[in-house]
Amino acid sequence: MASRHPFHSICPYFAMFPESFVATQLEQYTEPNDLVYDPFCGRGTTVFESLRQDRHAAGADINSVAACVAGAKTSAPHLASILERIDELEDSYGPTAREAKPPTPFFAKCYEPRTLAEILFLRRRLVWRHDPVDRFVAAVALGILHGESQRSRFTLSNRMPRTISTKPAYSMRWWEEQSLTAPRRRVFDCLRGAALFRFRVEPAERLGIVRQGDARKAAHLFPELVGRVRLVVTSPPYLDTTDFCEDQWLRLWFLGGAPLPRRRTNRDDRIRKKTDYWSFLREVWRGVMPLMANEATIVVRIGGAKFTKEELFTGLTEGLRQVVQGSVQPLHRGVSSAAPAHTDALRRPASKSQVEHDFVYRIRGLQP
């Protein structure tokens, strides 16, 4: 298997499976030029690794951070274009932009004033939804927007986790207790350095497709892929595990969102009842099925913190059988892994682990 590509860690967050997991599924269930799809693509691991392994690939995610990062990785522009755009942005950064005020008291503690002014300028100028170069610059910015600044010269914030955006009140209290102040970072230089670091290995030659949208509307999002997908590799959101918009609020702010945490921006960010969870996944499979080829494979990595392994197997199997007109054959349900629990990285890591399980299904007879 090829070595790990630097793009994979451009902007990490929790609930990520490793690219080695994807590579294993590609080798076992696909051939070169097959189409691979992920309805919950997150940071784009499935899509990008599939492109690297000479497959076609597409993915969707309802969250802006995921759409930006996955889209940047899977349709990367040339490095020269990225560096040219950063130079252009720096050249247009004038005295008026330097007078920017912190949106809230949190931002005054999180960033050194000159650093914050440059971040606010980028937030206004980057048209990441429409321009692939700006999207890559924005994705790089998201990866360095917050983190353990004592360990990385590229990290822009006061000391924070890199994985999640901690809440304003907690962060400010912790910085005060630890007598921590935000470092001065020259944002344009940091962007150049971070981009060069990511491009130390050339990106995939193929380009993928990533679109922001509801997993249940896959056929609407990707009409050109109907009947073509040979493999799905995905990890659905876990039952009552996270509210993505609440835990990624600072990155969402940079992409145009509110300057404070917001719960339940998307209706299904956090599902608490098991019955609602299985109903949600049935709707997802129903939306994905039009994209599937006549014979295809679905690989699901799913958390078991609230379920037994048998409950997960039964829920997934029954859900697929309720929406698939053809046959659903379970191929594999024996491998499980223990992933570190999602914890606040400013505190001591928790000792508990979250169990994950892998299930594989062969489906046939979908297309007339």
Q: What pLDDT is stored for residue 221 in this prediction?
A: 97
- Digit-coded pLDDT (tens) for 315-327: 999 999 999 989 9
Q: What pLDDT is stored for residue 54 in this prediction?
A: 96
Spell out the domain ranges in the chain. Answer: 6-63+208-243+270-364, 79-198
Task: Report pTM.
Answer: 0.91
**pLDDT-flagged residues of the chain (< 70):** 1-2, 14-15, 240-243, 263-270, 304-305, 334-354, 366-368
DSSP state of 359: E
Distance of CA 299 to the CA centre of its chain: 18
Q: What pLDDT is stored for residue 348 in this prediction?
A: 37
What whole-number distance in Å separates Cα of residue 40 and Cα of residue 306?
20
**Opening angle at CA 60, ends 54 and 62, nearest 5:** 155
Q: Where are the alpha helices (DSSP H) in the chain?
A: 19-29, 45-52, 64-74, 79-91, 105-110, 113-125, 132-144, 168-177, 187-198, 218-221, 244-247, 249-254, 274-288, 309-323
CB 42 within 8 Å of CB 66: yes
Give residues with Cβ within 8 angstroms of 65, minimum separation 6.
11, 13, 142, 244, 248, 251, 252, 255
Phi, psi of 233 (to 5 degrees): -125, 120
**Residue 76 is encoded by which pair of tokens?**
């990367």
Q: What pLDDT is stored for residue 341 in this prediction?
A: 44
Q: What pLDDT is stored for residue 241 in this prediction?
A: 63
Long-range own/partner contacts, residues 351-354 (CB < 8 A, 24 or more apart): 354/238, 354/241, 354/303, 354/304, 354/305
Q: What pLDDT is stored for residue 94 in this prediction?
A: 85
Domain 6-63+208-243+270-364 has CATH 3.40.50.150: yes
Q: What pLDDT is stored for residue 279 in this prediction?
A: 94
**Opening angle at CA 61, ends 11 and 143, nearest 5:** 10
Q: What pLDDT is stored for residue 315 in this prediction?
A: 95
Q: What pLDDT is stored for residue 270 in this prediction?
A: 56
